Structure 1
Amino acid sequence: MDAPISPGTRLLSMCSAGRTSCTNILVMMDSSASVGQKNFETSKTFVKHLAERFLAAEKKGGVTVRVGVGQYSQSNPRLEQPLTTNFTLLSSKIEEAQFQNEGTDVLQAMQFAINSLPSRGDASGVKRKLVLFSDGRSQRVTNVVLEKRVREVADSGIELFVISVGNQVNEVNLRTLVSRGRLQDISYAQRHLFRVADYPSLLRGVFHQTVSRRVSLP
């Protein structure tokens, strides 16, 4: 009996067949206790707006965009919806996401993303992007270990963007997260880090458009 084909492998083959470009985007929400239930619900609303922008973007020359959404805290990263082009399905799964209310393990969240996004393979034309909610604070993390995991993300072909909310942040870790392991590249880091003062600010103005536009750039 043939082994079952994983959803990630199936999506990869669909992206590669006859497509000039395909982008897979995974959004990982922070579901730790420091975020709080109310703010988590706000982030869910924001992510729905963001996903809608990604999926509604005009597709030129065979370009395909797929979006998946997950959440993480300390012990249980969870994929709420695997990569899809179906916004109705994605929105429903985001709405069903339950706040975990635990500690924070950003290292585990990044490893989870590496495992969840299908490998781009050779000359597949598939771009892999991770949008991670993080304030840079995490249990059991040192800058050396964090930098190693960031390099692993980059070496896996994943472009990492970080959304940081509030002013209680670990600046050193944030800079490391968006460095792809090249701390001297300040310009790259600035393009990959988004900051807002608080969770309500996620829903004000055109912030979701700013994020979606920058993440969508080649």
Structure 2
Amino acid sequence: MYTAVTLFVLMCLTATTYADHHHPCHSPNMTGFMSVMNIKGEVKAYGAFTYDSMGKKLRFRSNESHPVNTSVGLDILMFFDEGVFYEIDSKNKSCEKKALQCTMHPLDIPDDAQLDSTVNYGSPSIEGEGMKLNDWSGSMPGMKAEKGHYSMFVTMGCIPITTFYVTESTSFLISTMEVELEIKDPDLLVVPSICVGQPLEETPEGTVHSFLNEFM
């Protein structure tokens, strides 16, 4: 895992810079797996995700059966347009409904992202061994009182592969893998019965709820 972070940094250093007049694309519907790793190479979370790009909905469930020891166990369902999300505990049949103060997440490129460069991941001279990626970057608004910055590597088909987030107190890398361009189980994006009718919890002063803050 630490090697992945090193490769990411090398990609940043070897990128070819392009003019900053391009507009971000928007990701398609996706199902796949996601890992969250800090700069030390420690896996914070690993699990399956389902993303509805049109409805702006995301379900992420950490995979407890995966052999990697993770420090964050999650089952979250986020509705970005509505500005709410659910923390689900199916084992204990409990659910919490909370407000989303920041809608940034690693499966879509912010509208104000800047195109920094285009890089070749792997070897473009060998068939099937290279991939061209665009590097989009920008600031991270609403992340508590900290300033933050992100750099997102995205395929020509607008599939985010890796995103590097840096704040004043922490840095972490989010990667996707085994991505399929479909919603394989639409029921995962429906509010579970244990969450229906749950009141919106009051957000403590100074607290920011977002997908990223779940790992900070």
Answer 1 or 2: which has greater strand percent: 2
Structure 1 length as normaliser, TM-score?
Answer: 0.26
Structure 2 length as normaliser, TM-score?
Answer: 0.26
Answer 1 or 2: which has greater helix percent: 1
Larger Rg: 2
